Amino acid sequence: MAKAGLLSRRPHRLPLSERKRRRRSLTEDAFNVPNLLTMARVAVIPLVIMLLGRGSPKDCVWAALVYSAAAITDLLDGYLARRMNVVSVLGKFMDPLADKLLVMAVLVYMVPMGRIPEWAVVLLLSREISVTSLRSIASSEGVVIAAGDDGKSKTALQMVGILALILGYPYHLTLGPLDLGIVDLVHVGRALVYISLVFSIMSALSYLRLFAAAVEAKDKRRA
């Protein structure tokens, strides 16, 4: 009887054919075009860091080009996933993770270079971790929190600001007929990142309000 009771508590195992099907499905997800672009965005992080580490103006231009190409794939992989009807759980997990890894790796590396202060990077990291955790909790409660306008503005400003920081040298800039003279892109990048911090905090507060309102509405429906 004791042996029978022990056997009854063993976890139910899926049939071999079902396990193989799930493994095959995950492999297919990993090697579809949108997810390959997402993984390529992670793979180029060491290249961007290496070029930044060299530090010459030419290397920084190359780093900026690689970073820009990675940012473009962020727009392209989501479009292709919808167009090709290959939206997957793996893609939903990897896409935001790849974005955060790229942004945070570059920002952290630029701190000892003197291009961005530590406090700004700490605030950005704290915001990203907090919002990601909040959205995970919301998802587990069946609540979907869409990105608001503040979050989209934050992302746009942050991307352009980081691009300017990567270039990192004074350049003579012209805007059509307007001659802007010598512009230090480090100062431009810092200003944009600081502005993005304001939008980051505003969007984090918006996420918190939306989460509280959604959970309260769900509790009322249950009642």
Specify the higher pLDDT residue, 129 or 115: 115
Structure tokens at 199: 């939008």
- 182, part of any domain: yes
Mean pLDDT value of segment 163-188: 85
Other Cβ atoms less than 10 A from the Cβ of 46: the count is: 10
Question: What pLDDT was estimated at residue 121?
Answer: 93
C-beta of residue 27 within 8 angstroms of C-beta of residue 88:
no
State how far the Cα of 210 lies from the Cα of 218, in Å rounded to an integer: 12
- Amino acid found at 107: L
Instruction: Say if residue 161's pLDDT is above 90.
Output: yes
- Looking at residue 202, its pLDDT comes to 86
Higher-confidence position of 207 and 30: 207
The answer as to whether 2 is a domain residue is no
195, pLDDT greater than 90: yes
Q: What is the pLDDT of residue 1?
A: 44
Q: Which of these three, 85, 110, 135, is where a domain ends?
A: 110
Mean pLDDT (the chain, rounded): 78
Range of the domain at 93: 27-110
The answer to whether residues 85 and 95 belong to one domain is: yes
Residue 95 contacts residue 77 (beta carbons within 8 Å): yes
Q: Which residue has the higher pLDDT, 216 or 117?
A: 117
Answer yes or no: is 75 within a domain. Answer: yes
Same domain for 147 and 222, yes or no, is: yes
Q: Give the pLDDT band (50/70/90) at residue 142.
A: low
pLDDT at res. 13:
57
pLDDT the model gives residue 14: 47
- DSSP label of 136: H
Contact status, residue 66 vs residue 44, Cβ threshold 8 Å: yes
Within this chain, do residues 119 and 138 fall inside the same structural domain, yes or no? yes
pLDDT tens per residue across span 63-120:
999 999 888 887 776 666 677 676 666 666 677 778 888 888 999 999 999 999 999 9
Any domain includes 119: yes
Which contiguous run of DSSP H or E holds residue 106?
helix 89-110
| Mean predicted confidence (pLDDT) in 159-168 | 92
pLDDT score recorded for residue 48: 93
In angstroms, rounded to a whole number, what is the distance separating the alpha carbons of residues 166 and 158? 12
Total domain count, the chain: 2
